[in-house]
Each structure stands twice: as C-alpha cells, then as structure tokens.
Amino acid sequence: MINYGKQSINQDDIDAVSEVLRSNFLTQGPKVREFEDNLAEYIDVNYAKVVSNGTAALHLAYLAVGLKRGDIVWTTPNTFVSTANAALYCGATVDFVDVNPETYNLSIKCLEEKLLQAKKDKKLPKIVVPVHFSGQSCEMKRIWELSKEYGFRVVEDACHALGGEYLGKKVGSCEYSDMAVFSFHPVKMITTGEGGAIVTNDKILDEKVSILMTHGITKDDSLFVNESDGNWYYEQQVLGFNYRLTDIQAALGISQLKRLDNFVQKRREVAKTYISKVKNHILPYQHPDTNSSWHLFVIQTSDRKALYQRLKQQEILTQVHYIPVVNQPFYDRKKLKNSDHLYRHCLSIPIYVDLTKEDQLRVINSL
C-alpha cells in the first residue's frame, strides 16, 4: 500500500527519544528549550515556543494578539477546520475569503474587495489568517501592506510550510506578519508525534504565549504581583492552558529538524518528477515568489471520486484537501466559488520523504 503521506523515522530519532526516557526529565526539561532555540535559528526568527499541537498554537497566537468576543477573524475556507475553530475558542466570529484558483491560497483580489466592503460596513477583521496551502506561501508582502492600511493583525497558518521559502526567506520569518504557527503532525514536514509551534519577532507577543501555554502561571520574580514567599513561589496571573510539549517529543523534534532540509529537497524531487511526467490532470501552479516545501501534491481531475476509487483498488491511497470549512454543517455558510470548484476536483496524491522511485512510477502509471 502506498499512502498519500507519512512520517520518516530513523535510528537517530529513536536514540534521541530513548536518551530522554533514561533521563531525569520527561517533561519541562532542557530539551524543550533546545528545540525552541534550534527552530528559531532555522527559521531566522527571534522567538519560538513549542506546544502540544498545531491547533493549540493557533489558539495561543490568536489570544496573544488580543482576540476576544466580538472580534472578527478572516481566513481561507481551503484549510483544516482548526484554523477557524481556534478563533471560536476565543469567542470571536469567523468569515472567509475565497482562494486564488491557481495557487489555492487566499486570493489577494478577493481580500482587497472584501476589505473595501467591510470598511464601509464597519466590520473589519481583527486578524487575517493566510494559510500556506500544501507548503506554498501566500502573497504575504501584499497582505502585510493591507494590514497597515486597514488595521488588522496577521497570523500565518504555516502548518504545511516549514522549510518553504518566500522572497528568499524561510516561511515563518515574520517579516510580513505578527506571528506564524506550525504543526508537527506525522504527515507534516517534521514530526514530534503531535506538536506545534508559535514563532514571532515581537518580545511582548512571545511573553504572552509563554504564560498562556502554562496555565497562566509565571515563576519569574520580576513579574510577580505579590511578594515571593520563597524559591517555590509562583503566581497565576491570567487564565491559561496546559499546552506544553514534552521533552520526549522535543527530542524527536530536535533530531527531525537536523534532517529538514534533506526532507524538503526529497519532496521537491518527487514534485519535479510528477510535474514532468503527469500529463492528463491539472497540476499545481507555483507562484514565482515562493519555493514550496511540498507538504502536499494536489492535482485536479475531472472525475475525482472514480479516480480515488481506482487508485485505492491498486493500493494507492490518496486524500482530499480540503472539504471547505464553509461547507461543514457546523459552519453552514454560503459556498465560495473558487474553493468549491477546487474541492470538487482536487486529489492529493502520494508525496513523502521515503516514497521510492519505483512506487512513484506506480502512481504515475496508474494516473
């Protein structure tokens, strides 16, 4: 069976986890900080915090920029539901901007039109959340320019895009955003089993994430409201959450991060082969400002259901990314033209680090 995606684990990963299991710290130990430092250095960003999963990362990022009841978040319908759900956790409402039919990312044209109308209606968003679908960055420079014009914050959902590049910098550098979030789910670029991260260049935002992810508790005596009773003393200053990552997971992340560039290169090689050999389906377009990490390889086909079933019969597992969030019964919004068209035709075909040339040829021949 050929899966559409899966993790790559080697002996170094196993040894790194085993070392932690034999150590004194399984959680709240030194490996978490080491992973955060390594991640910040790789992305070239000032601050990084690792958390229990990508959804937690989104929730914390929204809270850190001040999202609250009555506020509005805009994002793309072409994403997993957590991008929108995390805004609802904060008591905010969510609205959606249609996608660019070429890149499948948030459409700048649609965003500009929607902002003009929202300004007239006095219903501008507090946050806009571009999703870097399949590993290709959105057009962040223009989104950032619009944020200055209309006064919204920008949080990048970069869960697909670790290792990707935009205008010569790593995705998540936050040159054109307030914060960016990543996921370390097994099918993502690197894995910690489950896990996520929030990165930023803003010290205040990083400090807010730090306290929110640990029950709202601080042990920093310079921040205490009351006088300390001793070295054991701590204070809960806000209502926070238990969104910590363990040292076991962080050790796996540290090991995986060492191979990230190799992972991305192998994915790019798989994508290049598909692009050169698959002739009878619509292939993904790449914007010239981007260099995708290729978390997914999404084709469009005339009869998606039939192709899905035929490939499955040949032991080739594919997937659909995504059912638009607006189509979900919970959200039940008006369908957006480009997103709905993409959903009716898209199919994610196998792409992962350990996909052999022979198995990829099987996929190509089957297509």
pLDDT digit string, tens, across residues 245-279 = 999 999 999 999 999 999 999 999 999 999 999 99
- Amino acid in position 210: S
Question: What does the alpha-carbon distance between residue 311 and residue 359 come to, in Å, rounded to a whole number?
Answer: 13
pLDDT at 252: 98
pLDDT at 66: 98
pLDDT at 231: 95
Helices (H), 132-183: 140-150
Residue 334's CB: how many other CB atoms inside 10 A?
Answer: 8
pLDDT at 226: 97
Structure token pair of residue 46: 């000032």
| Residues 126-172: tens digit of each pLDDT | 999 999 999 999 999 999 999 999 999 999 999 999 999 999 999 99
Structure token pair of residue 167: 């205008």
% pLDDT > 90, the chain: 100
Those residues with Cβ within 8 angstroms of residue 10's Cβ, 6 or more apart along the chain or in another chain: 259
Helices (H), 213-291: 247-257, 260-277
Residue 279: is it exposed, middle or buried by C-beta count within 10 angstroms (0-12/13-18/19+)? exposed
What number of helices (H) and strands (E) belong to the chain? 12, 14
Under 8 Å between Cβ of 50 and 251: no
Structure token pair of residue 261: 């560039």
pTM here is 0.97
**E strand or H helix at 210, and its extent?**
helix 203-212
Nearest to 196 by CA among 185, 187, 205, 186: 185
Quickly tell me which residue has 């619509």 as its tokens: 282
Quickly tell me which residue has 């993409």 as its tokens: 342
Question: Residue 119 — very low, low, confident or very high, per pLDDT cuts 50/70/90?
Answer: very high
Question: Residue 234 — very low, low, confident or very high, per pLDDT cuts 50/70/90?
Answer: very high
- Amino acid in position 15: D
Question: Residue 302 — very low, low, confident or very high, per pLDDT cuts 50/70/90?
Answer: very high
CA dist 113 → 109, 117, 221 (Å): 6, 7, 49
Relative to beta strand 93-96, strand 47-51 is unpaired
DSSP state of 281: S
Kindly calculate the radius of gyration of the chain based on its CA atoms and give it in whole angstroms.
21
- Amino acid in position 14: I
Nearest to 97 by CA among 85, 109, 82: 109
Under 8 Å between Cβ of 58 and 79: no
Question: Residue 319 — very low, low, confident or very high, per pLDDT cuts 50/70/90?
Answer: very high
Question: Residue 184 — very low, low, confident or very high, per pLDDT cuts 50/70/90?
Answer: very high
pLDDT at 236: 98
Quickly tell me which residue has 């798989």 as its tokens: 270
Q: Identify the CATH homologous superfamily for domain 260-366.
A: Aspartate Aminotransferase, domain 1 (3.90.1150.10)
Under 8 Å between Cβ of 217 and 235: yes
Question: Which residue ranges does the chain devote to CATH 3.90.1150.10?
Answer: 260-366
The answer to whether the bond into 322 is cis (omega within 30° of 0) is: yes
> Which CATH number, 3.40.640.10, 3.40.50.80, 1.10.10.60, 3.90.700.10, labels domain 11-257?
3.40.640.10
Question: Which residue ranges does the chain devote to CATH 3.40.640.10?
Answer: 11-257
% pLDDT > 70, the chain: 100
| Residues 32-54: tens digit of each pLDDT | 999 999 999 999 999 999 999 99
Under 8 Å between Cβ of 300 and 282: yes
